[in-house]
Amino acid sequence: MKPRLNGVQLRMKSWLQENGEKNSIIPLKVLSNSRERNRGSSVSLGEARHSYDREEADSLISIHEDSQQDMDANFESGFRMIEVGRPNPLHGTNAVTNTKYDAFSFLPKCLFEQFRYFYNMYFLLVSLSQLIPPLKIGYLSTYIAPLIFVLMITLTKEAIDDLKRRRRDSYANNEIYIVNNNPCTAQNIQVGDVVLISKDQRVPADMVLMHTSVGNEAFIRTDQLDGETDWKLRIPCSNQYSHGIIHADSPIKSVHHFYGTFTLNDNRRPLTVDNTLWANTVLASEAVYGVVIYTGKDTRQSLNSSKAKTKVGLLEKEINFYSKILCMIVLALSVILTFSHGIRENWYIAIFRYLILFSSIIPINLRVNLDIAKIVHSKHTEADPNLPDVVVRSSNIPEELGRIEYLLTDKTGTLTQNEMELKKLQLGVVGFSNESMDVVQACVNESTAHIPLSDDTKDLVRETVLALSLCHNVTPSETTDGSVSFQAASPDEVAIVRWTSSMGLVLTHRNRTSITINTSSYEILQLFPFKSETKRMGIVVRSPEGQITFYLKGADSVMQQFISPSFWLDEECGNMAREGLRTLVVAKKDLTNEEYNTFATVYAEASVSFSGSRDKKMEGVVSKYLENDMDLLGLTGVEDKLQKDVKVTLELLRNAGIHVWMLTGDKVETARCIAISSRLVSRGQYIHTIAKLNSREDAQSQLMILAGKPDSCLIIDGESMEFCVGYLKDEFIEAISNLSCVVICRCTPTQKANMTRLIQKKKSASVCCIGDGGNDVGMIQVANIGVGVVGKEGQQASLAADYSIKEFSHIARLLLWHGRISYKQTSKLAMFVIHRGLIISICQVVYSIISNFEPIALFQGLLLVGYSTMYTMLPVFSIVYDRDVSEKLVFLFPELYKEMREDKCFSIKSFMSCVLISIYQGVIIQVITYVLVGFDVEGEMLAVCFSCLILNELIMVALQINRWDQTIVMSEMLSLMIYTLSVPFLTDYFDLKFFLGLKFYWVSALILFISLLPVWSGRALKQKLKPSSYAKLQR
C-alpha cells in the first residue's frame, strides 16, 4: 500500500531528499519556514481534502517554543510525526541484522581479521616466499599447509557462529504479526503501522500502546531488554486504534524515558514511557493494539545493543611479546650465519632463506593449541557437578581465572539473597519487631483485646500500615494454581506488601486507576514511580470517604527535607543500618479538593512539555505542591539475608591472596554491618571510615592514617572516593590497593566501572567483578573476568558476564580450582609448543653451521609437517589434563593460588629456561648425530635425529606429568604408534635398513640420555632441595 502523507510529512520528505538526510527527524526551522510559505494550503488524500498544514505546524511549533528556554534555543531539536494507521517507509525497515558477514564479505573480512595477528602474517609471508625461485627451499605445501589448516579451523568457527546468528535473525524477521488487519512479517513492519500483539508474543518494534482488548491496562516482561524479571504496567493512550497523530521525540538509548504527545480531535495528551511497548519485550497480558514509532536500528533494543569488546587475556599478550623476542632471535641468527661465511654475493637472499628455515621457532599452531585448550577448560567448567547451572559465555579467557588479584563484588543479591523480609517498624519512640508484630496486627484489625498502646499510637499504627499498603507499585496476579503472586520492580516493595497483608490489609486488586485493599477501593489520582535519582516514590489516592492523601516513602537522606525535624529518626536509621536492615521513611500529606485540583492543572501542563526538561518541570511541580510540610509516619527496616556459605567463601578468597572489595549503593552503616556479618572484615580488624570529604587537606590526612595501618579495612562513600580520585589519584590508589578489604558505599554504576579501570591501569592487576543487577553490568564488562550471579534482579548481569553462576559461593571453586588448573596447564602447554618449535630450529641452525653455513633445509615435506601435528600434538596437548594437586587440597590450602599467581607460570624466567633447554637439546641431538653417524648418508642422519626429536618430546612431556590418567597415557602410546607405523612410508627421507641395525638404537639411546639427563636431574634436585608447595603436598 502506498503510504499516505500529509502536508507536513511531504515537506519533511522533500527536506530530507534535498539535504541528503537519512534520519527522518523534522528540525523546527523547516516547519517554521514551511508555515510561512504554505499558510492555509491543503493536500489531497484520496477522495477527501484535509487542511492539516497550518494547524499541525502551529501545534508542533508551539510545543517546541514552550521548551525553547530550557533547550538554550536549540532549533535543531527534532521530532517525528506519525499518523496512526499510515505506514511511512522513510524511517527504514524493521529487519533485524546481527550477522557479521554476508556471502561476499565473509572471506575478505575473516582473512583481514586473521592476518592482523603477528603469527599468521609472518607465516603468510614465509609461504609466499616459496613462490620466489631464489628463496625456494622445499615444497610449497610444507609451509602453506599448516597455515591453511589454522585458517580453516578459524574460518569454520566464524562461519558456524555467523550462521547461528543468521538463523536467529531469520526467525525474528519472519515472525508473523497482524498489521493493519493483514498478516505481515516482522521485517516488513513500518512506522505508523497498527500492530496486534497477542499474549506471550514478542513486540517486534518500538510502539505506543493504543488499545487493550481486556481492561484498561497491559503488562509486559522486559527481562530481555533491561534484565529485570518483574512485570511492567503499561497504559493505553486511547480507546481506539484507527485515528490520531503521534508526535515522538527522536530515538534515544534510554529505555526509561520517552517524550511524545497524542492528538485526537484537537485534544492533545502527553505520552510517557508508561504508554510504550519497546521492541523485544513480551506481552504478559491479553492482546493489545499498538502503533509503531521506531523500527530497526532506531529501536531502544538496537540502540542499546553495543557490541562488547572482545577480551584478550594477559597470557596471550605475554605470548605475543615473547613471539616478538623469538622473531628477533630468528633475525639475529639469520644475519650471524649469513656473514659468518663472509660477505657473499646476494647476501640478502641468504638472510631470507635462513629466515624461512628458522620459521619453526615461531610455532604457527600455538594459537590453535591454546584455543582448543581453552575450549576444553571451558567445557570442563560447565560439566562440573559442583557448579550447577554455570554458563561460560566467553571461552577465550579461562586462564585469567587463575590470575585474579582483586575481586570487586556487589552486595545486594550477590553477597545477600535479595529475599526481603520486613523485620522492624519504628513509630517515634515505639518500635515493633518479631513477636510484637502481633500488636500491630491487633491495631490494624481493631481487636477488642487489650492493647498496651495509647489511642494516638494506635491511630498512628493504622495510618502507617495503610500508607505502606497503598504507597507502592505492586500488582497482584493469579498464578495457574490459583495462588496470588506479587509483581514489582523491587523486592523491597513485595516484602512490605506481603507484610501488610499479614497484618490484615490485603492487596486484592490493582489497575491504573484504583487499588483495592480488602474490600475498600482507593482511587489512584497520581503515581510517582521510584527512580534511582530521586530515591523515593509517591502516590496520591482518594479514599472511599473522599479524603485525598499524598503518601511518600524513600531513603532517609532525601525524606528529611520534606518532613518536620524529628529527634528520633537519625538515631533509629543508624540503629537499623547497624543491624544490616534497609530503611525506608514513610510520610503523608492530606490535601483538600482545591489543593489537589490546583496541583493537577499545573502538573498536566508540565507533563505535555515536549523537551528534555519535562521531567524537571514535573518534579518541580510535585516539590512545590506536594513534597513539603509532610507528616512523618514511621520507619521500616527490611532484612536481606546473606547468601549460603558467604563467610566461608570470603575466608577462602582472603587466604588465597585475593583482595576482596565490596561496591554497593547502600548507606555507610548498612555496608559496614554487612561487611562485618559476612566476615569480609576479619575479627578485630580496624575499620577506618571516610565520608563526606570536601577538602584536599582532609583527604591527605585520611590517606596518611591508612598508610600507617596497612591491615585496616576502609569504608568510603562514593562522593569521597570521587574527590580522592579527582585530586589525589595516585596517592589514593597506592594507599588502598594493599588493604585486605575496601568497602565503597553510595556507589553508582559508573563509579564501579571507573574504579575497576583504575585498578587495572594503576596496579596492572587482573580484576574480577561479580554482581547480579543491571547496575553491575558496567564493571562486569570492563573487568578482566566478569561474573554474573543469576538473581532476583534479572539476567542482565548474567548475560553480560563472561561466566554466569548460581550463587556467590561458587566463585571460590571457579577461581581456586578451575582458574588455577586452567592458568597452570595452559601456560605449560604454551611453553611446550614453543619448546617444540625451538628445538627443531636449533637442529636446523647446527646443520647449517656444519654444512659450511649454507641455508639448506634439514627437514622437509612430511617430516616438517608431521613433527608438530600427528607425531607430537597429542602428547603435548594432553598436558591440559594434568593435575598437580587434588580438589580437596586446593580448598584446604588456598594459599596455593597465591603462590602460583606470584610465581607466574608463564614468566621471563620460565621462558628463558625453555629457550636454554631447547638450545641444549637441539645442539646435543644434532652434534652427536653428526659425530656418530655423520651427514654423508642423509637417510641415516635424518632417521636418527628426527626419531630422537620425536622421542625427546614424548619423554619431556612424561617428565612434566604429575598425575597420569587414561587420556595422557593413550596420547603418548598413540603418538609413538603413529610414528612407528609411518616409518615404512617415509622412504623418501629415511634409510629403512638403518632402522634394522643395532647402531640406530644405541646412538639414539645415547643421544636421548645425554639430552634428557640434565633436565631430569635439575627437576629432581629442585624437588629435593627447594620443592614447591604443591610438590610438598603431593608427598
Give percent of the chain above pLDDT 90.
29
Instruction: State the burial class of residue 898 (Cβ atoms within 10 Å of its Cβ: 0-12, 13-18, 19+).
Output: middle
Q: What contacts 953, CB < 8 A, 6 or more positions away? A: 836, 839, 872, 875, 876
Identify the pLDDT of residue 487: 75
CA angle 119, 125, 126 (to 5 degrees): 85
Ranges 340-354, 541-555, 962-976: which has the least confidence: 340-354
Q: Would the annotation count 492 as a binding residue?
A: no
Residue 63 has pLDDT above 70, yes or no: no
SS3 302: helix
Q: Would the annotation count 664 as a binding residue?
A: yes
Comparing 486 with 538, the larger pLDDT belongs to 538
Q: Would the annotation count 582 as a binding residue?
A: yes
> Which tens digits make up the pLDDT trace of 82-123?
999 999 888 888 987 777 788 888 888 888 877 776 667 777
Whole-angstrom CA distances from 388 to 268, 439, 791, 804 are 54, 44, 14, 10
Ranges 24-38, 275-289, 328-342, 462-476: which has the least confidence: 24-38
> Which tens digits make up the pLDDT trace of 592-613?
999 999 999 999 888 877 655 7
The helix (H) or strand (E) run that includes residue 420 is strand 416-427
Identify the pLDDT of residue 796: 66
Give percent of the chain above pLDDT 70.
88
CA 206 to CA 290: how far, in whole Å? 9
Ranges 457-466, 847-856, 992-1001, 1024-1033: which has the least confidence: 1024-1033
* DSSP of 245-286: EEEEEPP-S-SS---EEEEETTEEEEE-GGGEE-TT-EE-SS
Residue 150 has pLDDT above 80, yes or no: no
pLDDT winner (highest mean) among 205-219, 740-754, 892-906, 991-1005: 991-1005
CA 946 to CA 967: how far, in whole Å? 25
Overall average pLDDT of the 920-946 stretch: 91
Q: Would the annotation count 313 as a binding residue?
A: no
* DSSP of 588-611: EEEE-HHHHHHHHHHHHHHHT--S
Whole-angstrom CA distances from 503 to 427, 459, 975 are 16, 15, 74
Q: Would the annotation count 665 as a binding residue?
A: yes
Q: Would the annotation count 311 as a binding residue?
A: no
Q: Would the annotation count 647 as a binding residue?
A: no
Q: Would the annotation count 614 as a binding residue?
A: no
> Which tens digits make up the pLDDT trace of 267-322?
888 898 889 999 888 898 889 999 999 998 898 878 866 555 667 788 888 888 88
Identify the pLDDT of residue 309: 62
Residue 20 has pLDDT above 90, yes or no: no
Comparing 123 with 378, the larger pLDDT belongs to 378
Q: Would the annotation count 74 as a binding residue?
A: no
Q: pTM for this one?
A: 0.70
- Domains of the chain are 7-82 (no CATH), 106-173 (no CATH), 176-303 (2.70.150.10), 365-374+824-1034 (no CATH), 402-415+640-813 (3.40.50.1000), 430-634 (3.40.1110)
Q: Would the annotation count 772 as a binding residue?
A: yes
Q: Would the annotation count 310 as a binding residue?
A: no
CA 5 to CA 42: how far, in whole Å? 12
Identify the pLDDT of residue 68: 33
- Which residues are part of the catalytic machinery? 410
> Which tens digits make up the pLDDT trace of 759-770?
998 888 899 999
Identify the pLDDT of residue 1023: 78
Identify the pLDDT of residue 536: 87
Q: Would the annotation count 462 as a binding residue?
A: no
Residue 489 has pLDDT above 90, yes or no: no
Asked if 718 contacts 691 with a C-beta cutoff of 8 angstroms, the reply is: no
Comparing 563 with 708, the larger pLDDT belongs to 563
Q: Would the annotation count 411 as a binding residue?
A: yes
User: What band does 633 get if pLDDT is binned at 50, 70 and 90?
Assistant: very high
Comparing 29 with 93, the larger pLDDT belongs to 93
Overall average pLDDT of the 143-169 stretch: 78
Based on its alpha-carbon atoms, the radius of gyration of the chain, rounded to whole angstroms, reads 36
Q: Which three cell numbers stand for residue 147?
A: 597455515
Q: Which three cell numbers stand for residue 336?
A: 650471524
Asked if 23 contacts 15 with a C-beta cutoff of 8 angstroms, the reply is: no
Comparing 115 with 526, the larger pLDDT belongs to 526
Comparing 51 with 343, the larger pLDDT belongs to 343
Q: Which three cell numbers stand for residue 882?
A: 594434568
Overall average pLDDT of the 465-487 stretch: 83
> Which tens digits make up the pLDDT trace of 419-453?
788 999 999 889 998 888 999 999 988 876 778 88
Residue 1034 has pLDDT above 80, yes or no: no
Instruction: State the burial class of residue 204 (Cβ atoms within 10 Å of its Cβ: 0-12, 13-18, 19+).
Output: buried
* Mean pLDDT, the chain, integer: 82
Ranges 6-15, 122-131, 447-456: which has the least confidence: 6-15
pLDDT winner (highest mean) among 37-41, 542-546, 958-962: 542-546
CA 151 to CA 130: how far, in whole Å? 19
